[in-house]
Structure 1
């Protein structure tokens, strides 16, 4: 069953945090003071929950209820533990296939990627707690319900997840135009995690540097980039093609 996607009111959000709800983001009214607000801010930072300060007009648009200067978006899905996902994938007869999203921000792109990931047998999607696109009703709709089927893990930092995957015997392939290596030069038959970057900036330089492989798609027209969800689909289906050729 899909959970509620919004909690409003300072005390209600404090209770939600203490109850370990999956909170994607909290909107707080700019300039609002008070002991209770200070307690909420401290609790959000302590739990590394993404928060943003906005004008009261923004909060009024988010809900018609008495928000008291605070509105929280609650994820409609339950997130998974990365270590457990890797352990489960390593027990399968097929090589693990993971997908990491480095600061992807558009919820519809996220939903489309989740749908393709489900269709290609991805063992898990890994996103960062802060800065990543949240799982919203639009994400669920665009994914055609796949968001309830593909395990998604949230981590503090994508780079930490990268290092953990490498230590678990999983090679990292970054999808980037900043390389001379083609996607068709990479072997996807071994345990692999594919990284896709943000829509506007791509994969961060530190992530590219730490990757085992970087690969690009051939672009033969005048436009020199693909939508990230389309590029992701090409990478995933190249993995499927190579693995089916066995």
Structure 2
């Protein structure tokens, strides 16, 4: 082999070796550092602004992302509030919208605090509803700018109610709504011969000025007819989740 050919092959091999070294992790890191230095020098000489995201930019992006999540949550919350503040169909009552500002840690207390009180025209015993016409409870205590709402799960609950019948010839079944163990509702003292079945809606019967007729209480989930008893009983389900209530409407007599 000629001497020139040997020199050429040696030079080619050396070139491949050097190129291979540049693709090793160590040389790649060195190459990146060198390239960064070249870019830094060129940007300083020609006064080119740094286009890489700074820490403050990244923090701002993170804040904006979190803010977007918060606003999305608030939008959903607003939709729930708007739904729960729907105008009830009780024109004879003065309607006062309020927000729940406190709820008990112990759910068995069955009391909520709302942000309206005496100054807003609320009185003791006023009916409190959600979704416009679903019974939540009654105002039990008052201060100038807040009130305590005693929900239907309170042990003192005792409300006369009746079923809603589709057939005008069938009289509604009437009974007394009470709270059982502050966790469920029962319609008691229903006459044994009264027609009542699961799925029927239950509404309040008027007791005069405080409770108007037709406030929705819930629906019958099951019926029990104990033997040798003059009355039957029905379990009642609410039309809303009581632990998710955030907005209410107080019905005060005009």
Does TM-score exceed 0.5, indicating one fold?
no
From the two aligned structures, give the one with the greater strand fraction.
Answer: 2
Give the TM-score normalised by structure 2.
0.24
Give the TM-score taking structure 1 as reference length: 0.24
Q: Could you say which structure has the larger radius of gyration?
A: 2
